[in-house]
Amino acid sequence: MGRGAAFFDLDKTVIAKSSALAFGRPFYRDGLITRRDVVKSAYAQLMFRLGGTDEQTMARTRDYLATLCKGWQVDQVRQIVAETLHELINPYVYAEAAALIEEHQAAGRDVVLVSASGDEMVRPIGELLGVTDVIATRMAVEDGRYSGEVEFYAAGPSKVDAVGELAAERGYDLADSYAYSDSYSDRPLLECVGHPTAVNPDRALRKLAVENSWPVLEFRHPVPLGRRLRERPAVPVAAAALGVGVGVAIGIAWYGRHRRTRTAAPSA
């Protein structure tokens, strides 16, 4: 028998926001997206989360992602993520998730982040958490720019395919492995391991967890890394419900209006 691993979804499971939408403001600032793109992206993600297991929904989300990113310079995206990671992501890491990741690592299990967000975003977030193994969406690149094609879309059953490949490569025993997610769209991921857990679950996943007697965890304490290190032991894994939405899009739209107003104001 092989050893087990722990597979964590990212958005609303490890961090208290959407990793893709979190970088909307700097992408907008650097001219990669428009305000209309921000709203459409938020809507596309919401639709995916509400019906993400539907093949047509996943295909539409994947195709929209490819079209949106076509022509972007890969190095520019990586630079934006590196420059804004500690501001936009670090304060929103759930202390409960960080503690749970550390518990699995202390038990000798590899921890893997599994996210539909792009590898250029997920991998640096993993490094922030001390996690080196990542399964994420990969975009095709030509001459240093995204070509408009998706090499691998890490969503739904595709997550399970990647987990299976990694398990075969590393010798993981999936029956002795763990998986955590907040979304019903990750039902295939949760069902492929012996120890599935719903974290801050949406309504459909909560119902599924109850039907299958899966553990349900509620994380609600996003705490910056520096503060976690100062205040060990971390917040216990337990707690209360957290309401989530797409308010980030409103914040980005406000930022755009504020920036234009500031630019248009006459100098003293």
> Catalytic positions, please?
9, 11
Helix (H) or strand (E) holding 263: helix 247-264
Q: What is the DSSP string of 11-68?
A: BTTTBSS-HHHHTHHHHHHTTSS-HHHHHHHHHHHHHHHHHTTSHHHHHHHHHHHHHH
* Nearest CA among 11, 193, 212, 215 for reference residue 97: 11
Place of tokens 């930022």: 255
Asked if 159 and 58 touch (Cβ cutoff 8 Å), the reply is: no
* Nearest CA among 212, 259, 265 for reference residue 30: 259
Alpha helices in 89-137 (DSSP H): 95-106, 119-129
The pair of structure tokens assigned to 230 is 């100062």
Asked if 237 and 99 touch (Cβ cutoff 8 Å), the reply is: yes
As a whole number of Å, the end-to-end CA separation of the chain is 73
> Residue type for 172, please?
Y
Sign of CA dihedral 119, 238, 156, 159: positive
